[in-house]
């Protein structure tokens, strides 16, 4: 549920995060990573993004990001590779 007083809020990587309005997964990932993305989810600069997305514990494939509308209450995890054995 959203209304004018309460913008939609998601849990992004464990923290509450207000969405500016209608936001696709692609918009959010571009914002968080600071990379411009094409509609297929690949970086506009031709490099590799190295990012994956889960919403409510389900992986959303890269190609589906642009059509995936984030909604109030979604739990969103954006992950990448880090150093690890």
Partner 1 sequence: MSWTIDDVEMSSRLVMGTGGASSLSILEDALVASGTELTTVAMRRFDAESRDSVFTMLQRLGIRVLPNTAGCYTARDAVLTARLAREALETNWVKLEVIADEDTLLPDPIELFSAAEELVLDGFTVFAYTNDDPALAKRLEDAGVAVVMPAGAPIGSGLGILNPHNIETIVSRAQVPVILDAGVGTASDAALAMELGCTAVLLASAVTRAHDAHAMARAMALAVEAGQLAAGAGRIPKRPLAVASSPFAGMVTAQ
The binding site for partner 1 (CB under 8 A) comprises 13-14, 32-34, 48-54, 57, 59, 61-62, 77-85
Any idea what DSSP says for residue 22? Answer: S
Choice between 13 and 39, CB closer to partner 1 = 13
Q: How far is it, in rounded angstroms, from Cα 49 to Cα 78? A: 12
Distances (CA, A) of 3 to 9, 12, 70: 11, 20, 15
In the bound state with partner 1, the residue whose beta carbon lies nearer, of 6 and 67, is 67
- Greatest CA separation found in the chain? 47
| Residue placing its CB nearer to partner 1 in the complex, 2 or 35 | 35
């Amino acid at each position: 549920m959203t209304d004018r007083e309460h913008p939609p809020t998601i849990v992004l990587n464990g923290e509450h995060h207000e969405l500016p309005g209608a936001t696709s997964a692609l918009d959010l990932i571009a914002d968080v990573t600071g990379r411009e993305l094409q509609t297929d989810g690949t970086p506009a600069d031709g490099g590799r993004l190295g990012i994956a997305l889960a919403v409510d514990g389900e992986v959303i494939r890269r190609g589906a990001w642009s059509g995936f509308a984030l909604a109030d209450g979604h739990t969103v995890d954006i992950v990448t590779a880090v150093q690890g054995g």
